[in-house]
Every structure is written in C-alpha cells, then in structure tokens.
Amino acid sequence: MKCSSATASRRKALKAFSVLAASASLAPFAEASVTTLSVAAFPAVDQILKAALPEFQKKFPHVRVEVIGREFADHHTAMTTAIATGSKLPDVMALEAGFLGRFAISGALEVLSQPPFDALQHEKLFVPFTFQQNRDAHGQVVAMPTDIGVGALFYRQDVLSRAGIAPELLGKSWESYVEAGREVKKATGAYWVTHARDLKDIIIRSNLQPGEGIYFNEHKEVLVESARFVRAFELARTIREQRLDARVQAWSAEWAESFKRGTVATHMMGSWFAGHLANWLAPQTRGLWRTSALPDAAHAPWGGTFYAIPRRAANKPLAWELVRFMTLSPSLQLSAFKAHDAFPALLETHRDSYLDQPVAFLGGQAARALWRDLALKTPAVPLHKLDALAEEIVNTELDKVLSGRKTTQRALADASRMLGQRMRHSA
C-alpha cells in the first residue's frame, strides 16, 4: 500500500505521540510497582547483604532493597525498640545467635514453618544444630540460619613447642589441659587463657542431657547447681589459683593486646576467631596459631547469624524471598565465607574444595575441614528467655569464687536462689 509523504509523517508523528502517551501513562504505574524492602543488619552481615543485592535484583527487578547497618550492640537494641513500638520495623532482620532466643521465645518473629512459608522443607540442607536453635517456645521455626560458629580451641604452636608440650595433650581431658597450662606458664611465662571464665563457658555448654538447656530444663527448673556447673566452677578456680589466666575481659583493649604480644597461649572461641586474629587482632602472628577440637571432646555452638521476619513486617512474601535467597544459595554462602569468614550454615557449601584447602594463617592447617566436622557433631542448645540474665548471674557468682569470697557450693546456691527469684518475678 502506497501513501503520501505527508500522510507518512503524520503517521510517524501519531505513532511517536502514542508511544510517548503510553509511556507517560505507564511511568507512574512502573514506579508504583517498585517495592522497597528494608533489611537491618550488623557488621559484616550488612556487607554480605550489599554484595549479594545485584544478584537478587536480577531476579526481582521490581524490588529495591535498603540495607540498614548498625554496630552490633546498637543493632539488637534498635530491633528491640522497633518491635516494641512498631516504628521503623524492617522487613527482614539479622539476629546473632546469642540474641535470637530473646526474640524467638517472645513471639515477635513470624513463624516460617507454616504456610505460606516453607522453612521446614529446607531443614536437611543445613547443619543440624543450627536448625534446632531457630525455634520459638512451641518448636516452630522463626529464623533461617546463614552462618554458624562452632566452638574450637586455638593455640600457639610455637609457645607449646618451647614448653615441650604435645598439642594432643590439650584435647585429652580438662585436667590434662590445665596441667599443660601449668607447664607452659612455668616454661615460657605465657598465660594459658585470657580469663578463667572461658573454661566455665565451655563446660556448662557440654554434655547436656536430653531436655536440658544451659541454665534451665524443659520443666523450667533451674540447673545451676548441677554437676556440670560444679565442675566448671572448680576448674575455673584452679586456673585462677595457679595464675594461669590473664584476667582480661573478651573484646577489651587488653584482650586484643595479649594476642598482639603473644602473652596468651590458648583461646577457646567460635571458629570465626581465626579470621579476627588474621585480619586485625594479631596479623603478625601468621603461621604461629593452630586450631583443634575443644578439650574433653566438648562440642558447643558459638555464635552464628540468622535472618528473621518480624511478625508485623509489611512485605512478608518478598521478605521471605530475600531470606531464601540469602540462606539457600551455596555460591553466595561461599563468597561470604571467603570474604568475611562467615562459616556457612548450608551443607552443600561444605562440599566445596575451598573447605579442604590449607589456611595459611594457621600454618597451612586444613582448619576449615576440621570445623566442618566439628559442626556436624555440635549439639543444639535449647534456649530460654532468661538465658542472658542467667549468664550474668552465674558470671557474677563465679567472680566471687575466683576472688575467694565464696565457695563454689555457696555461689551456685546463691545463683540458683536469684534465678528462682527472677523467674517468679517474670512469671
């Protein structure tokens, strides 16, 4: 069909106008369809999130994700306030394992094991203990794990060699561990641990009987006078009496200095501690540290991060998509592990060859493979709402034992009385 040039130009103009009109009418719609998801996190989870966002936005181009990063303690205080008031409540919040119980047990988090969510479908994909920690008071899943911490022993190979101590002696029993400390102190002058409390922290988390939490059992009875606590207090007292601990608080300037100067020979902490040592605590001690399982075949979870959706969040379906994306992607978890030492909670990532590679900072030891094995043996520790308070009460009573003001029995009896008093008050 032929047409004049004037008609053609009119048609072109009309076409151009219609395209413009269409785009103009669609523009507000397109803008309106963009949903903003807010995610609150702490370092380095906020960085992991930011790094993963381009990939997520490829899958969900209509979603804009706003990451709100705060310092560790500030973040959890801010989340408490946000839930209490409903103001500035994020759609997704990262929660550290130590804080999870407080939020989970109070019923502030969305249940992810009920439709439309399907968290339980993925249970077998994760390290077992971490998928038991993420439950509320009714055993329902309220958070998804992203990284884990398994308790491990770190020791200075060079200091042990100077004292002629075989590393195997450390793991045999708590008694042989303390004995090795005595020898090392005598031969080198180095403190064995940063604080006597470190031993107590591990021992009270070890060998939990079925139905037992750290401080309470399933019948809400206080357990602090049990043999577990007596042994923990007595060993801590031995460490203090023999002057084997540097008496420094974890994360204090003195604590950091003791690693820098190499005045402490061993330290028990989460596997992620190696990353802290290598990156900022004592990078100059590269090649001098090694890691092993905790003494006396003890296994304890130590930290870890979870993503949760607040019950009153605005965009729950999309929030769930983001949580799934962050927790179920093996490649993403591996990148986070490589960049930030965030040990993956996802079992598929554990099969990557990266975990078998030697760790240069730990003298070429295949440490990640060791931690992987430890993770599988680590039991879940049931949580209680008053765990934070119980820990403080027990620590304060231990201080009294360490300074010689109370006997172990008296201190534990007082701790039990105070906990009972608190339970009655909060009931």
Partner 1 sequence: MKPLIKLRWAPYFFLAPFMLLFFVFGLFPLGFSLVLAFQSWDPVQGLSSMTFVGLKNFAFLLEDDWFWKSLYNTLWLAVVSGLPQHLVAIPLACFIHNRLGRWRNAVIGVYFMPYITSTVAMAILFSALFSTDYGVINTTLQFFFPMQAIDWLGDPDNIKPAIALMVFWRYVGFNTVLYLAALQAIPRETYEAATLDGASPRQQFFFITLPLLKPMMLFSVTLSVIGGLQLFEEPFVLTGGRGGSDQAGMTTAIYMFRTAFEFSDFGTASAISWSLFLVVALLTWATHRLFRGKKEAT
- Binders of partner 1 in range 238-267 (CB under 8 A): 246-249, 251-254, 257-258, 261, 263
Q: Any idea which residue has 């601990």 for tokens?
A: 245
Distance CA 247, CA 228 (A): 23
Nearer to partner 1, 214 or 402 (CB): 402
Name 92's bridge partners: 39
CB-based contact 40:68 (threshold 8 Å): yes
3-class DSSP state of 330: helix
To the nearest whole angstrom, how small is the minimum distance from the Cβ of residue 411 to partner 1? 11
To the nearest whole angstrom, how small is the minimum distance from the Cβ of residue 163 to partner 1? 20
Distance CA 95, CA 2 (A): 70
Q: Where are the alpha helices (DSSP H) in 204-345?
A: 227-241, 253-260, 273-276, 316-328, 330-340
To the nearest whole angstrom, how small is the minimum distance from the Cβ of residue 403 to partner 1? 6
# of chain residues touching partner 1 (CB under 8 A): 42
Burial of 337 per CB tally in 10 Å (0-12, 13-18, 19+): buried
CB-based contact 398:236 (threshold 8 Å): yes
Distance CA 46, CA 52 (A): 10
To the nearest whole angstrom, how small is the minimum distance from the Cβ of residue 310 to partner 1? 10
To the nearest whole angstrom, how small is the minimum distance from the Cβ of residue 407 to partner 1? 15
- Binders of partner 1 in range 75-104 (CB under 8 A): 77, 80-81, 83-86, 102-103
Per CB under 8 A, does 306 bind partner 1?
no
Choose the stretch contacting partner 1; rule: CB under 8 A; options: 73-81, 114-122, 228-236, 266-274: 73-81
Per-residue contact string for residues 367-406; x = within reach of partner 1 by CB under 8 A: ------------------xx-xx--x--xx--xx-xx-x-
CB-based contact 249:255 (threshold 8 Å): yes
The rounded Cα 405 to chain-centroid distance in angstroms is: 34
Nearer to partner 1, 101 or 295 (CB): 101
Per-residue contact string for residues 190-229; x = within reach of partner 1 by CB under 8 A: ----------------------------------------
CB-based contact 162:181 (threshold 8 Å): no
Kindly tell me the sign of the dihedral angle through the C-alpha atoms of 184, 188, 189, 195: negative
To the nearest whole angstrom, how small is the minimum distance from the Cβ of residue 184 to partner 1? 17
CB-based contact 369:83 (threshold 8 Å): no
Nearer to partner 1, 50 or 276 (CB): 276
Please, which contacts does 53-59 make with residues 24 or more away whose CB atoms are closer than 8 Å?
A: 55/325, 55/332, 56/322, 56/325, 59/325
Nearer to partner 1, 244 or 294 (CB): 244
- Binders of partner 1 in range 3-22 (CB under 8 A): none
- Binders of partner 1 in range 103-122 (CB under 8 A): 103, 106-108
Nearer to partner 1, 107 or 317 (CB): 107
Binding stretches for partner 1 (CB under 8 A): 73, 77, 80-81, 83-86, 102-103, 106-108, 246-249, 251-254, 257-258, 261, 263, 312, 385-386, 388-389, 392, 395-396, 399-400, 402-403, 405, 418, 421, 425-426
